[in-house]
């Protein structure tokens, strides 16, 4: 393996791990607040993690719900479009990164044979690193977009009963504000 790749590989692995770890938090961050209501029961106020228009409420007051069940969702066309755009950017950046790696390998052979100067090789290395960075940034944007799409749904965190619904289909909500929609569920025994 060439020295440049050996140097860059740990850095790239660290950055990718950092990006994935941060994105994992985005994907699973559903806004909740809780209070204990009785022995073994917890009342959860479940909210959307993003701003949007409520598309549908799939439950009614008093209805039993199961862990993982989608209780409500926002109109997700915008979030799906973000994911699609980000996916295309990842594909493009990946192809450009692969081409930059091939150019670096080619230039290293030329350098070793004396046909390329050290300065020209360094410029190719810099270009390769820029393409790697662009690819990682595109990956991060894709993961972020996918996370936002996940936050456009309220999902039951456990088996329980719906005790209150504080929103309706068609309502515009703002995440983290007084206009936030929520569904209150009692989870437990």
Helix, strand, or coil (residue 125): helix
Domain carrying residue 141: 1-29+76-151
State the Cα–Cα distance between residues 162 and 69, nearest whole angstrom.
Answer: 12
Could you tell me if 61 and 99 lie in one domain?
A: no
pLDDT at residue 42, rounded to an integer: 85
| CB-side neighbour CA atoms (13 Å) of 55 | 15
| CB-side neighbour CA atoms (13 Å) of 115 | 6
Burial class (CB in 10 A: 0-12, 13-18, 19+), 8: middle
* CATH number assigned to the domain comprising residue 182: 2.40.50.100
Query: Would you give per-residue pLDDT tens digits along the chain (189 residues)?
Result: 455 555 555 555 544 444 444 443 333 345 555 444 456 678 888 888 999 999 999 999 999 999 999 999 999 999 999 999 999 999 999 999 999 999 999 999 999 999 999 999 999 999 999 999 999 999 999 999 999 999 999 999 889 999 888 888 999 988 877 666 677 777 765
Could you tell me if 143 and 128 lie in one domain?
A: yes
Going by C-alpha positions, the residue among 6, 19, 33, 55 that lies closest to residue 184 is: 33
For residue 89, tell me if it sits in a domain.
yes
pLDDT at residue 186, rounded to an integer: 77
For residue 46, tell me if it sits in a domain.
yes
Query: What is the maximum span of the chain, computed from C-alpha positions, in angstroms?
Result: 79
pLDDT at residue 25, rounded to an integer: 39
Could you tell me if 89 and 71 lie in one domain?
A: no
pLDDT at residue 24, rounded to an integer: 39
Could you tell me if 47 and 91 lie in one domain?
A: no
Helix and strand element counts for the chain (H, E):
3, 9
Burial 140-168 (b: 16+ CB within 10 A, else e): bbbbbbbbbbbbbbbbbbeebbbbebebe
Could you tell me if 156 and 174 lie in one domain?
A: yes
Could you tell me if 172 and 187 lie in one domain?
A: yes
Could you tell me if 142 and 81 lie in one domain?
A: yes
Instruction: Name the domain count of the chain.
Output: 2
């Amino acid at each position: 393996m060439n020295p440049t790749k050996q140097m860059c590989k740990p850095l790239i692995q660290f950055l990718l791990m950092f990006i994935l770890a941060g994105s994992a938090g985005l994907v699973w961050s559903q806004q909740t607040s809780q209070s204990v209501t009785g022995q073994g029961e917890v009342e959860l106020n479940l909210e959307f993690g993003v701003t949007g228009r409520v598309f549908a409420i799939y439950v009614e007051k008093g209805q039993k719900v199961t862990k993982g069940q989608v209780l409500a969702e926002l109109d997700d066309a915008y979030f799906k479009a973000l994911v699609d755009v980000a996916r295309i950017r990842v594909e493009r950046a990946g192809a450009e990164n692969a081409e930059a790696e091939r150019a670096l390998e080619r230039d290293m052979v030329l350098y070793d044979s004396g046909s390329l100067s050290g300065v020209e090789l360094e410029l190719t290395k810099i270009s390769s690193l820029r393409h790697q960075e662009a690819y990682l940034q595109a990956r991060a944007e894709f993961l972020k977009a996918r996370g936002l799409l996940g936050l456009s749904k309220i999902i039951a965190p456990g088996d329980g009963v719906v005790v209150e619904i504080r929103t309706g289909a068609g309502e515009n909500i703002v995440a983290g504000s007084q206009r936030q929609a929520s569904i209150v569920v009692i989870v437990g025994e």
